[in-house]
Amino acid sequence: MNDRNANPAQARGTPDSTQETVIETDSLTRKFKKIKAVDNLDLRISHNELFGLVGPDGAGKTTLLRLLAGLLKITSGSAHVAGHDLTERPEAVKPKIGYMAQQFSLYAQLTVMENLNFFADLYAVTLEERKERTERLLSFAGLTPYTERRAEHLSGGMKKKLALACTLIHDPPILLLDEPTTGVDPVSRREFWSILTDLHVRGRTIVVSTPYMDEADRCTRVGLMYEGRMIRCAPPDEIRSQVRGELIELIAEHWQAARAAVGELPGVLQVQTYGTTLHLIVDNAAERLPEVEAHLEEERIAYSRLRPTQLRMEEAFLSLVDQREQERWE
């Protein structure tokens, strides 16, 4: 973890074509009986990208990560990771990658230190390397005071950080992390991401799947998976700009009535509900705002907020998935 990489293109979030490709798939396909969990996927990930994988449940994120980790057999197509051809000897890639499964299991009865040692044994980390590395990882993960605590007695956030430390014990250049922060409280999520950012700055290539759109926003590039395919693959701001339409936020006293009233107005492409807040995706916010306002008044629907606002990844993602579903029925 010492090759600091301060590439300005990476900092801006643009994939850097001068960087070497470390993950490359061509028509990668994995079937489970009739289901194509990963369907003809072409993907290039460069050295030192922080690549976010998002998509609804069942989109194929876990299957893709397991294929890249050399843990699943490829049905057809090919994948190369860190120069290894995964169609030939998938297990040969293991020293190069740190894979953290969605249900990563620590040994509950073992202490923090014993867990780290267990994984160090598994990866045949030498004793000299082990001492320096465990110290660094423990401090990195904020677990130094807890080395003697059993894993079962750690908080959810600490468990995830220990799991990450175990994943890093053999110092892999490529990390494949499957929803590492799912179910973790927001503060621990932020801490976990500050560790990821640090690893990124230190030159690691990271592929991380996440259901949280704020996390996707922190990646250099985001791949939106849907039914085994990558429907978009771009830096977060580009993904937001690809969405047809602009956003108007509406908070009304009776949101159900408001939703019904505005849903059919001309120029309203979609209405998304967040608790009691409505997000109207419209073709042109400046033009539609006065029309929405007039209509709400006409219908006597009281509201406390009506304003144009920035599209977040969340709306962009839902809108792109929605577009894809509509295209399928057209």
**What's the min distance (Å) between Cβ of 154 and ligand ADP?**
25
- Give me the sign of the Cα torsion angle 240, 243, 183, 207: negative
Candidate ranges 34-42, 54-62, 146-154, 222-230; the one touching Mg ion (CB under 5 A): 54-62
Specify the pairing of strand 268-274 against strand 277-282. Answer: antiparallel
- Contact between 210 and ligand ADP by CB under 6 A: the answer reads no
From 45, 54, 61, 311, residue interacting with ligand ADP (rule: CB under 6 A): 61
**What's the min distance (Å) between Cβ of 158 and ligand ADP?**
24
Max CA distance (Å), the chain: 76
What is the C-alpha to C-alpha distance for residues 298 and 284, in angstroms, rounded to an integer? 21
Give the burial class of 57: count Cβ atoms within 10 A of its Cβ; 0-12 exposed, 13-18 middle, 19 or more buried: exposed
Secondary structure (3-state) at 105: coil
**What's the min distance (Å) between Cβ of 207 and ligand ADP?**
13
Query: Measured from the CB atom, is 62 or 210 closer to Mg ion?
Result: 62
Specify the pairing of strand 268-274 against strand 35-46. Answer: unpaired
From 10, 25, 46, 62, residue interacting with ligand ADP (rule: CB under 6 A): 62
From 13, 15, 60, 157, residue interacting with ligand ADP (rule: CB under 6 A): 60
Angle subtended at Cα 271 by Cα 211 and Cα 259, rounded to the nearest 5 degrees = 125
Please report, as residue ranges, which positions from 22 to 51 form the binding site for ligand ADP (by CB under 6 A): 32, 35, 37
**What's the min distance (Å) between Cβ of 194 and ligand ADP?**
25
Q: Which residues sit at the interface with ligand ADP, rule CB under 6 A? A: 32, 35, 37, 55, 57-63
